[in-house]
Amino acid sequence: MLLEFIFKNSFSYKEEAYFSMEAVKGTSIRNEFDKIGKHRILKSAIIFGPNASGKSNMIKSLKSFRNLILKNDIQENPYPTYAGNEDPIFYQIVIYANNNIYRYSVSYLKEEILQESLEMEKNGDFEIYFQRKKMKYPILPDELKPLVNKTRKDNLFLITAKTFNDKPSLAVFRWFRNRLIFISRDTPPLLNQAYKIHKNIKEKEKLLNFLKAADLNITDFEVVENNSISFHITGGLDEILSLSKRSRGLKGYNMTIRHKAFDGVNDNGQFSLDLSAESDGTKKLIALAIILVSYNNSTILIDEFDDSFHVELSKAMIEVFNSNKQSNQFILTSHELALMDSGFKKEQIYFTEKADRSTTELYSVYDFKSEENRQDYSYVKRYQKGMFGAIPEILVGKLKESLEE
What pLDDT does residue 377 have? 60
Mean of pLDDT over the chain: 89
For residue 196, tell me if it sits in a domain. yes
pLDDT in tens, 254-278: 999 999 887 665 566 788 999 889 8
My answer on whether 43 and 7 are in the same domain is yes
- Are residues 137 and 60 part of one domain? yes
Rg (CA), the chain: 23
3-class secondary structure, 317:
helix
CA dist 72 and 56 (Å) reads: 23
pLDDT at 234: 41
Position 289 confidence tier, pLDDT thresholds 50, 70, 90: very high
Q: Using the predicted structure, report yes or no on whether residue 232 has a pLDDT greater than 60.
A: no
Which of 270, 296, 322 is the C-terminal boundary of a domain? 296
| pLDDT over threshold 70, residue 216 | yes
Do 170 and 283 fall within a single domain?
no
Residue 130, amino acid: F
If asked whether residues 284 and 159 sit together in one domain, one would say: no
pLDDT (0 to 100) of residue 375:
60
Q: Does the pLDDT value for residue 204 go beyond 80?
A: yes
Question: What is d(CA 294, CA 192) in angstroms, rounded to the nearest whole number?
Answer: 11
Measured torsion, CA atoms of residues 277, 282, 288, 291, in degrees rounded to the nearest 10? -40
> Which of 278, 296, 314 represents a domain boundary (last residue)?
296
More confident residue, 288 or 236: 288
Residue 379 lies in a domain: yes
14 assigned to some structural domain:
yes
Summarize the confidence of residues 112-116 as an average pLDDT: 97
User: Which range in 247-251, 291-295, 319-323, 366-370 is most confidently predicted, on average pLDDT?
Assistant: 319-323
Using pLDDT thresholds of 50, 70 and 90, give the confidence band for residue 77: confident
Whether residues 167 and 285 share a domain: the answer is no
**What pLDDT sits at residue 393?**
85
Cβ–Cβ contacts within 10 Å for residue 185, how many? 11
Asked if residue 197 and residue 118 are part of one domain, the reply reads no
DSSP helix/strand/coil, 166: coil
Both 232 and 159 in one domain: the answer is no
Helices (H) and strands (E) in the chain, counts: 10, 16
- Average pLDDT for residues 351-380, to the nearest whole number? 83
pLDDT at residue 248, as a whole number? 39
Span 158-179, average pLDDT: 97
User: What pLDDT was estimated at residue 253?
Assistant: 87
Alpha carbon distance 363, 355 (integer Å): 12
Q: How many CB atoms lie within 10 A of CB 84?
A: 7
The predicted pLDDT at position 73 comes to 81
| Mean pLDDT of the 17-46 span | 92
Mean pLDDT of 124-130: 96
Measured CA to CA, the distance from residue 371 to residue 349 in angstroms comes to: 12
Q: Are residues 58 and 80 in contact, defined by beta-carbon separation less than 8 angstroms?
A: no
Q: What pLDDT score was predicted for residue 237?
A: 35
Q: What local confidence, expressed as pLDDT, does residue 262 receive?
A: 72
Determine the average pLDDT of the residues in 232-258. 53
pLDDT at 355: 82
The number of folded domains in the chain is 2
Identity of the amino acid at 72? N
Q: How far apart are CA 150 and CA 326, in angstroms?
A: 42
Q: Is residue 51 located within the same domain as residue 161?
A: yes
Q: At a CB cut-off of 8 Å and minimum separation 6, what does 60 contact?
A: 10, 11, 80
- Cα–Cα distance, 370 to 350 (Å, whole number): 16
Q: What percent of the chain has pLDDT over 70?
A: 89
C-alpha torsion angle, residues 154, 157, 158, 163 (rounded to 10): 100
Q: Which of 9-18, 191-200, 275-284 has the highest mean pLDDT?
A: 9-18
Q: How many residues does the chain have?
A: 405
Is residue 134 situated within a structural domain? yes
Beta strand ranges found along 84-191 (DSSP E): 89-97, 100-108, 113-122, 125-133, 136-139, 180-183
Q: Is residue 155 situated within a structural domain?
A: yes
Do 113 and 227 lie in a common domain? no
What pLDDT, on a 0 to 100 scale, did the predictor assign at position 372?
58
Query: In this predicted structure, what is the pLDDT of residue 245?
Result: 35
Looking at the fold, whether 168 and 192 belong to one and the same domain comes out as no
pLDDT score of 404? 86
Comparing CA positions, the residue from 320, 373, 371 lying closest to residue 44 is 320
* DSSP state string for 188-223: PP-HHHHHHHHH-HHHHHHHHHHHHHTT--EEEEEE
Cα separation, 235 vs 179, whole angstroms: 9
Is 0.75 topped by the overall pTM?
Answer: yes
pLDDT at 321: 96
- Shared domain check, 85 and 124: yes
Same domain, 206 and 169: no
Which residues constitute the domain of residue 221? Answer: 186-296
pLDDT band at residue 374 under the 50/70/90 scheme: low
Domain membership flag for residue 320: no
Q: Is the confidence at residue 196, as pLDDT, over 70?
A: yes
- Residue 126 CA, chain-centre distance (Å), reads 25
The tens digit of pLDDT for each residue in 291-330 reads 999 999 999 999 999 999 999 999 999 999 999 889 999 9
Whether 218 maps to a domain, the answer reads yes
Q: Which of 242, 277, 296 is the last residue of a domain?
A: 296
Residue 321 lies in a domain: no
pLDDT given for residue 91 in this prediction: 98
